[in-house]
């Protein structure tokens, strides 16, 4: 039996407390699976006095979190502070440079500084592990890095934010509007007081940037992601989608084509009968398409104390067993530049929701603009008629480029007969 693996934990919020609880609950089981004992040596959080529902008395409490990065009696630093600067960044950098393994759940840190941190870990010859950073209850990092390692992965896409999926599911099931459901989600603790990171798609985009790098062997490039959130989705959009056989999901899409990479994070129409269409509530799911596996999908809880702590523990056990691999699957120096796909090459069917004044000539104007952008119409849906009053018109297009649909929508939105900014949603042919 190898000597105990000694860990220090910084951050004792939901995930940190969950991690302590997990290690306390399953100590014996984990020792058997890891081939050695996992020992919490020291912990740090902002507020020592706070009751976290777990007994911390057996662990040394340190006042300086950064001190854990240098202690000779610690093998692994677990960073659960969050944020892409400050303590989290300093702690991870210092831990790596003093040759400690690092386990983190910090997607924003990795999305922004992942390349430098990967290089630092590989230079130091230690592991930087982050299963908990993307869809905690789903072993998607391990699956892509190891399980699908024999494949050329061309596509990775999925539902990466449980808060948004919960809101969209609630909107559909109750017919209520975004603002109303968001407020309730905040009261229930499913959404943050400042929901920006979640509902504007930033959190999911952080995760997508990590998945794309790992899947395509490319450098992390958060800034190359085209991000839209779900604030503009109305209950009417959800009703229309339903009538057309679709559900609206916030989907992260990564595609690699001859070294050029698409990274999009946007609300999409997905078929009700598809696997992704059936992922509801706070659940996440990630699909991977590879040349030998064809298609594989993993579904589970993306957040919460239990699933996230489970992912952190999986990383710790891997380190205990001596599983060592480059941070992003291949050595950081071998990662290709992340060359973004131009909008003219991003092709899909589109859903276009217009709120128009019900007057003669509107549809003629709209369809003329679409024609001028070489966009052909698959179907058109209009509910109600009330001359002179605004009515909703939904147009489903055939395949067209993102560049064309955006240019056309901008022109359509400028027509005097169009009352609100047109809503464009990509249709995914799953």
Binding of a copy of itself at residue 422 (CB under 8 A)? no
10 Å Cβ neighbour count for 122?
Answer: 18
* Least spacing, CB of residue 78 vs a copy of itself, in Å: 13
Q: Which of 325, 357, 365, 421 binds a copy of itself (CB under 8 A)?
A: 325
Query: Residue 50: exposed, middle, or buried by beta-carbon count in 10 A (0-12, 13-18, 19+)?
Result: exposed
Rule CB under 8 A: which of 239-298 touch a copy of itself? Answer: 273, 275, 278, 290-298
Kindly state the smallest distance separating residue 282's Cβ from a copy of itself, in Å: 10
> Rounded CA gap, 317 and 107, in Å?
20
Closest CA relative to residue 162, chosen from 207, 110, 193, 194? 207
- Going by the DSSP 8-state scheme, the letter that residue 145 receives in this structure is I
Stretch that binds a copy of itself, among 108-116, 200-208, 330-338, 405-413 (CB under 8 A): 330-338
Residue for token pair 């950081």: 332
Q: Is 207 noted as a catalytic residue in this protein?
A: yes
Q: In this chain, which stretch among 7-15, 112-120, 261-269, 310-318 interacts with a copy of itself, using CB under 8 A?
A: 310-318
What's 221's DSSP letter? -
Answer whether 109's CB lies under 8 Å from 209's CB. no
| Nearest residue (CB) to a copy of itself, 28 versus 416 | 28
Count of residues in contact with a copy of itself, rule CB under 8 A: 62
17 binds a copy of itself (CB under 8 A): no
Task: Classify 216 as helix, strand or coil.
Answer: helix
Contact 14/52 with Cβ under 8 angstroms?
A: no
Q: Can residue 321 be called a binding residue for a copy of itself (CB under 8 A)? A: yes
CB of 100 to a copy of itself, least distance (A): 20
CA angle 102, 251, 80 (to 5 degrees): 20
In the complex with a copy of itself, the residue whose CB is nearer, 211 or 362, is 211
Does residue 29 belong to the site contacting a copy of itself (CB under 8 A)?
A: yes
Structure tokens at 149: 């390692």
Helix/strand/coil for 48 = coil
Does 142 bind a copy of itself (CB under 8 A)? Our answer is yes
172: enclosing H helix or E strand: helix 162-174
Please classify residue 158 by burial: count the beta carbons closer than 10 Å to its beta carbon, then call 0-12 exposed, 13-18 middle and 19+ buried: buried
List the catalytic residue out of 89, 107, 112, 207: 207
> Other CB atoms closer than 10 Å to residue 306's CB: what's the count?
16
Contact between 340 and a copy of itself per CB under 8 A: no
Our finding on whether 54 is near a copy of itself (CB under 8 A) is no
- 198/204 Cα distance (integer angstroms): 7
Structure tokens at 135: 């869809």
Closer residue to a copy of itself (CB): 231 or 321: 321
Nearest CB to a copy of itself, comparing residues 104 and 228: 104
Cβ 316 to a copy of itself shortest distance, Å: 8
CB 275, min distance to a copy of itself, A: 6
Q: Interface residues with a copy of itself (CB under 8 A)?
A: 18, 22, 25-26, 29-30, 32-35, 131, 136-139, 142-143, 145-152, 217, 273, 275, 278, 290-301, 304, 306-307, 309-314, 317-318, 321-326, 329-331, 334
Active site residues: 207
């Amino acid at each position: 039996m190898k000597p105990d693996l000694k860990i220090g934990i910084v951050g004792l919020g939901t995930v940190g407390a969950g991690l302590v609880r997990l290690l306390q609950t399953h100590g014996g089981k984990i020792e058997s699976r890891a081939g050695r004992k996992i020992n919490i040596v020291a912990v740090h959080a902002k507020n020592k006095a706070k009751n976290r529902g777990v007994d911390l008395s057996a662990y040394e409490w340190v006042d300086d979190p950064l001190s854990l990065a240098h202690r000779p009696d610690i093998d692994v630093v677990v960073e659960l502070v969050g944020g892409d600067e400050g303590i989290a960044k300093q702690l991870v950098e210092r831990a790596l440079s003093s040759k400690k393994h690092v386990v983190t759940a910090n997607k924003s840190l990795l999305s922004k500084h992942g390349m430098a941190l990967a290089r630092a870990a590989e230079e130091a010859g230690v592991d930087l592990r982050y299963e908990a950073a993307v869809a905690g209850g789903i072993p998607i990092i391990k699956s892509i890095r190891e399980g699908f390692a024999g494949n050329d992965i061309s596509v990775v896409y999925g539902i990466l934010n449980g808060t948004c999926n919960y809101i969209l599911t609630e909107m559909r099931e109750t017919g209520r509007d975004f603002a109303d459901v968001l407020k309730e989600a905040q009261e229930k603790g499913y959404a943050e007081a400042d929901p920006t990171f979640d509902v504007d798609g930033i959190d999911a985009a952080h995760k997508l940037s990590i998945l794309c790098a790992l899947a395509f062997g490319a450098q992390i490039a958060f800034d190359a992601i085209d991000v839209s959130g779900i604030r503009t989705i109305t209950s009417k959009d959800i009703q229309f989608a339903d009538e057309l056989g679709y559900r609206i999901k916030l989907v992260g899409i990564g595609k690699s084509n001859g070294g050029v990479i698409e990274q999009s994070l946007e609300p999409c129409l997905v078929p009700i009968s598809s696997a992704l269409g059936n992922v509801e509530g706070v659940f996440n799911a990630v699909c991977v398409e590879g040349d030998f596996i064809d298609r594989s999908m993993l579904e589970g809880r993306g957040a919460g104390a239990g699933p996230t702590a489970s992912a952190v523990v999986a990383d710790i056990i891997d380190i205990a067993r001596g599983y060592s691999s480059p941070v992003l699957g291949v050595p950081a120096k071998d990662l290709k530049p992340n060359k973004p796909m131009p909008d003219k090459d991003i092709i899909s069917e589109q859903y276009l929701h217009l709120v128009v004044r019900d007057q003669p000539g509107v549809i003629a104007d709209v369809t003329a603009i679409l024609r001028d952008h070489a966009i052909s119409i698959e179907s058109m849906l209009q509910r109600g008629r009330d001359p002179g009053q605004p009515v909703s018109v939904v147009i489903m297009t055939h395949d067209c480029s993102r560049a064309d649909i955006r240019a056309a929508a901008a022109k359509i939105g400028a027509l005097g007969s169009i009352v609100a900014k047109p809503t464009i949603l990509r249709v995914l042919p799953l």
